[in-house]
Amino acid sequence: MKKLSLLLVLVLLLSACAPEGGSDESDLRIVSLAPSLTEIVYALDLGDNLVGRSDFDTYPAEVESVESFGSLMEPDVEKIISLAPDYAIHVFDNPDLSSQLEAAGIEVVRFEQVETVEATYELIERVGALFGREDKAKEVSAKMKDDIAAINQKVAGAEPTSVYYVVGFGPDGDFTATGETFIHDMIRLAGGDNIAKDATGWSYNLENLLAADPEIIITSNQWDMKPTFMAAENYDQLTAVKEDRVYEISPDLLDRQGPRIVEGIETIAKILHPDLFE
């Protein structure tokens, strides 16, 4: 009887350590509805538990072997349900999708989209807490903080370089990472002086861009944005365009609030202050 009681206590303790919902970690099934959350799941060593992802999930490479439910805006709900996940985690608010998944017995957890690098650490730790990976999440966050601090220390003594990040341009308007955005925070930590820091809502205008005439311009490395921007009327008058100081970066390093923002900040810092990273 005494042995039986001890065994019961042990079982209860192990159950308490399992993720919410009572699932053993080896049986835990996760569907991610945001590329940033997918990358966090892998960083927490839970990649084997990911059973569903969107077509936009491209990192790490092994995510390609995970079943896709299609697009983020119009996911295949029946496909998600057929994957029998315990959890569906997302960032973008979609009440209709959430209600359908919850009706199928899936626990839906929404994480708020973060707007600062500091908040990214908190996001990672919240995901870790949900799945019983608090220690791993703190380890990931701590390493990110150390790596970003090392980058920031390198550029701390340098004069901030004026820079403009192109999100969109042309007749429909000019769009960039304005002062309240996540990417602005990354630019600041990389030793940049974002010329759009006083603007809001991702909106800018050609007149102000030409007047500021930033030293460096950064574009996405997709959609032929760099050559199109450099050849566009009026934009071709910018000094950075004339002197070939327009650089490309993968938007995934800037748009996905997860562990790879470290790589994004370092990439920007090397563009802005190449001499400090030789």
Q: Are residues 57 and 32 in the same domain?
A: yes
230-270 pLDDT, tens digit each? 999 999 999 999 999 999 999 999 999 999 999 999 999 99
Rg (CA), the chain: 22
Q: Are residues 192 and 253 in the same domain?
A: yes
Question: 117, 140, 163: which is the final residue of a domain?
Answer: 140
Query: Quick check: 225 and 219 in contact, CB under 8 A?
Result: yes
Domain count, the chain: 2
Domain that holds residue 68: 23-140
pLDDT at position 25: 65
pLDDT at position 1: 44
Question: 89, 114, 140: which is the final residue of a domain?
Answer: 140
pLDDT at position 138: 98
Q: Are residues 109 and 171 in the same domain?
A: no
Q: Are residues 28 and 126 in the same domain?
A: yes
Q: Is residue 8 part of a domain?
A: no
Q: Is residue 218 part of a domain?
A: yes
Q: Are residues 128 and 216 in the same domain?
A: no
pTM, to two decimals? 0.89
Q: Are residues 107 and 179 in the same domain?
A: no
Largest CA distance in the chain: 86
Q: Are residues 164 and 98 in the same domain?
A: no
Q: Are residues 35 and 119 in the same domain?
A: yes
| CATH number of residue 119's parent domain | 3.40.50.1980
Q: Are residues 85 and 163 in the same domain?
A: no
For the CA atoms of 159, 162, 167, 171, the dihedral, rounded to the nearest 10 degrees, stands at: 180
Q: Are residues 133 and 170 in the same domain?
A: no
Q: Is residue 267 part of a domain?
A: yes
Residue numbers in the chain where pLDDT is lower than 50: 1-23
Q: Are residues 63 and 163 in the same domain?
A: no
pLDDT at position 244: 98
Query: Quick check: 214 and 233 in contact, CB under 8 A?
Result: no
